[in-house]
Each structure stands twice: as C-alpha cells, then as structure tokens.
Amino acid sequence: MKLQEADAKGLLVAQGLPVPPWSVAHTPTEARAAAERYRDEGADAVVIKAQVLVGGRGKAGGVKLAKGAAETVAAAILGMDIKGMTVRKVLVGPAADIVAEYYLAAVLDRAERRILLMGSAEGGVEIETVAEANPEAIIRLHADPALGLLPFQARRLAFAMGLEAHLKDAVRIAQGLVTTMRAYDADLVEINPLAVVREPGADGATVERLVCLDAKITLDDSALARHPGLEDLRDPDEEAPEDKAAREAGLTFIKLDGTIGCMVNGAGLAMATMDLVKRAGGEPANFLDIGGGARADKVAAAMALILSDPKVNAILVNIFGGITRGDEVAQGLIEARAQQARDVPMVVRIVGTNAAEAAVLLAQARFETAATLDEAAEKAVAASQAAGTAA
Ligand code: GDP
Ligand code: MN
C-alpha cells in the first residue's frame, strides 16, 4: 500500500524525524486559509504540492511555489491529471529555502533479508536516473537485522553523501528511516529530496538545517493487520477495482494474462492448478485462493471477480474439501451462475468433505465435472481453445 506524501510525513514525524510543517487542502479556499496561516507565521511564500501516488510530480507541474496567489495556484493543481491520476488534494506548507538536495531511502532488500540504505548527493532527481547515468553516486549499506543501523554505519553513510556539516541530523535521520521501516512494516521509506534548508534562527541570523522535504512510504499489505489505523490511509484511487473487490471479499487474487479463470482453495493447490493448466497447453487468467472454509457467498464473489476479466473464456474450479465443504462450494457455483452476466464454460472438480453431496448438486445443475485434476485441466483448456477459435 502506497501512502500519500502527507500521510508518510505524519509517520516520519511520529518517529521523531524533522519535517517542515504542512497542511492538506481539498479546495482552493482551504489552500488559501492554510497559506495565510503560514504567512502569519512569517513565511513569505508557500509551496503547493499535488497529493497523488506517482513520482515526478514536480516535473509534471504538480509542485508550485505561490507568493500571494495560493488560491489560484491550488485551483490550477487540483483536478490536474498527473500520469493518469486526478489530483483531489494538495499539500500546503511554508516554501523551503533550499541550499542543497540529497537522496536517502531505506528499502527492503529481500535477497539479503535486510534493510538496505541508499544515499546520494544527487537528490531531487529520480533515483532510477542516477542509477543509470551515475551508479557510483549511490551509496549502499545494509542495516543489521537485530541492531538496526549502527551509529558508525550512519556516520559512514553521511560522510559518503557529503553531509559532514550536518552529521548529527544526518545520522539521526538515517537511523530514523530504519526505525520507521520497522515500526510500520514498510517496504520503502524514501526521502527525495532530503534537503539542507535555510531558515531564520532565534537571533535573526539564518541557520541551515536538514529536513525531509518529500516522503514516500509503501507498506507491506500482508502486515497491515499488525497496525490498526494504517488501513484508513489507503487511497481508493491507488487500487485496481479487482484488487479492491478481492480484498473486501477476503479473497487472495492476482490477475494474470491468460484466458482460463481458476478458482481454487489453498495457495499451494492454486499454484499446482496453474501448473497443470499450463501443462495442458492453456494460460491461467488469475491466481485465486478462496481460502479455507469458504461459503457460498464467497464463491459467488470469486466467480464475479473472475468473470469481470473480459479475457476469461473458460473457468476451472478445483476444490479440495477439508474445512471447506464441497456442497457449500457447489451451492455457491449454482448461485453465481444464476446471477452471472455472461456464460462461460466451466469445469468443476470437487473432492474431499461432502464431495458426494456436491456431485449430486452439480449433476442436477448440469455442470461439467471432472474426476481428476488432469482431466479438469484438459477439459478447461479444450473449452478455452474452442471459445478462442469461435471468437
Ligand atoms: P516529486 O517531484 O513528486 O518528487 O516532488 P518533490 O516534493 O520532491 O518536489 C520536487 C522538487 O520541487 C524538489 O526536488 C524541489 O527542488 C522542489 N521543491 C519542493 N518543495 C520545495 C520548496 O518548499 N521550496 C523550493 N524552493 N523548492 C521546492
Ligand atoms: Mn520527490
């Protein structure tokens, strides 16, 4: 799950990291009110930033400074289309007086099973560009899985990035990114730019300090259950409609490119089923695990999800009844077929708990069944190929 910049900044602040103040505005009027507040506090300009879940907002015109006309600038950004995303809200904050921009991120390195820190003095530009044009400009080091980012590691990183003038803050921020990763089970915490900014000091002189000017956080969806409240930060625009439907129905669903819709219980059986479809010469349209103990309504939801993919021209149902009762699934299939918008050939194999009852129901409803999984896969592939030829 990707977080909007404003929400990501909230998590950084909660972990004690330095982030300049901000407000979120949904209308130009709200943006003006926020701008006036920051001006009253001494800011001579505000920055207005589109809150959309894509990178490169600056280049796309979604980040603007406003001296007086905050309302007009916000009006121009709100409703803007940035890489296919409509801007529905903006972040408003006092404009930072930037001295230098750096890049600093913590990412989950699955291969090393550690958190990887990446830093670069070439901040403000997309890191992919730096990685391609100038890979040695990126410093990489792994945090310790038990001890986190050790102080000497953080100092080494800060020196290599050229941040020796802000050593203490740089160390605190680098360690803070690792703390943030762990506190929320994040996959990525990216600060780009991490910026040295000039600010008025207490005695009227200007001071320079290091702040997180932009923030991007992605969370591990599978760990959200451990963090009450974070689910509320999900942006409805981020998710594909089928992913949303699957999540709400409690189904594990991954869309693929083929033509044969698969409905299976259990992740291992779902993978085996996909292998057999491939071996029979077909291409699965999805991975779908209806889970253990699925009842009729869940089966109907799964069927609707499979059929929402226009490429699906055959369906293979493979259920191994344990806690899941075969007759419940059969009932769900019958209900789903009565409601479904289009008619697609379906092959059903149900074994295990209440398989005999299921067989009676399926026979009455004239479903095509198969005794073995090989037979089911072959029948589904044949049906799909026939449908493909006919189309
Ligand atoms: P992104 O393009 O989506 O990554 O959005 P950023 O928040 O990183 O902003 C892009 C760029 O706009 C930054 O790299 C800065 O150069 C500039 N920028 C962002 N905020 C400010 C600000 O408060 N003051 C100034 N002067 N420039 C800013
Ligand atoms: Mn950025």
Cα 172 to averaged position of ligand 1 atoms, centre (Å)? 22
Q: Which residues have CB under 6 Å of ligand 1?
A: 47, 49, 55-58, 63, 65, 95-96, 98, 101, 124, 192-193, 213-214
pLDDT of 341 = 78
For ligand 1, atom 15, name the residue with the nearest CA. Answer: 124
Among 51, 137, 42, CA closest to 92: 51
Note down pLDDT in tens along the chain; length 391 residues: 999 999 999 999 999 999 999 999 999 999 999 999 999 999 999 999 999 999 899 999 999 999 989 999 999 999 999 998 899 999 999 999 999 999 999 999 999 999 999 999 999 888 899 999 999 999 999 999 999 999 999 999 999 999 999 999 999 999 999 999 999 999 999 999 999 999 988 888 899 999 999 999 999 988 999 999 999 999 887 778 888 889 888 899 999 999 999 999 999 999 999 999 999 999 999 999 998 777 888 888 999 999 999 999 999 999 998 888 999 989 999 988 888 878 899 999 999 999 999 999 999 988 999 989 999 999 999 999 999 887 6
For ligand 1, atom 25, name the residue with the nearest CA. Answer: 96
190 in catalytic set: yes
Cα 377 to averaged position of ligand 1 atoms, centre (Å)? 54
Q: Please tell me which residue in 103, 122, 328, 378 is annotated as part of the active site.
A: 103
pLDDT of 182 = 97
pLDDT of 251 = 92
CB neighbours of 257 closer than 8 A, spacing ≥ 6?
Answer: 283, 285, 311
| β-sheet bridge partners, residue 352 | 321
- Ligand 1 atom closest to the CA of 57, numbered from 1: 3
Find the distance separating the first CA and the last CA of the chain, reported in whole Å: 38
The pick from 2, 38, 52, 63 for probing ligand 1's pocket by mutation, whose C-beta has the most ligand atoms within 8 angstroms, reads 63
Cα 193 to averaged position of ligand 2 atoms, centre (Å)? 6
Cα 54 to averaged position of ligand 2 atoms, centre (Å)? 10
The pick from 23, 80, 82, 98 for probing ligand 1's pocket by mutation, whose C-beta has the most ligand atoms within 8 angstroms, reads 98
Cα 221 to averaged position of ligand 2 atoms, centre (Å)? 23
Name the closest ligand to CA 22.
1
Name the closest ligand to CA 91.
1
| β-sheet bridge partners, residue 318 | 264, 349
Alpha-carbon distance of 171 to 16, in angstroms, equals 13
For residues 138 and 120, the answer to whether their CB atoms sit within 8 Å is yes
CB neighbours of 123 closer than 8 A, spacing ≥ 6?
Answer: 100, 101, 102, 103, 104, 192, 193, 194, 195
375 in catalytic set: no
Assigned token pair, 305: 């999800």
- Ligand 1 atom closest to the CA of 5, numbered from 1: 7
**DSSP state letter for 29:** H
Cα 82 to averaged position of ligand 2 atoms, centre (Å)? 14
- By CB neighbour count within 10 A (0-12 exposed, 13-18 middle, 19+ buried), where does 385 fall? middle
Among 175, 119, 123, CA closest to 152: 175
The pick from 47, 97, 213 for probing ligand 1's pocket by mutation, whose C-beta has the most ligand atoms within 8 angstroms, reads 213
Q: Please tell me which residue in 71, 122, 190, 328 is annotated as part of the active site.
A: 190
pLDDT of 106 = 98
Amino acid at 314: A
For residues 159 and 119, the answer to whether their CB atoms sit within 8 Å is no
Name the closest ligand to CA 60.
1
Alpha-carbon distance of 83 to 68, in angstroms, equals 28
Among 372, 309, 362, CA closest to 334: 362
Alpha-carbon distance of 120 to 136, in angstroms, equals 9
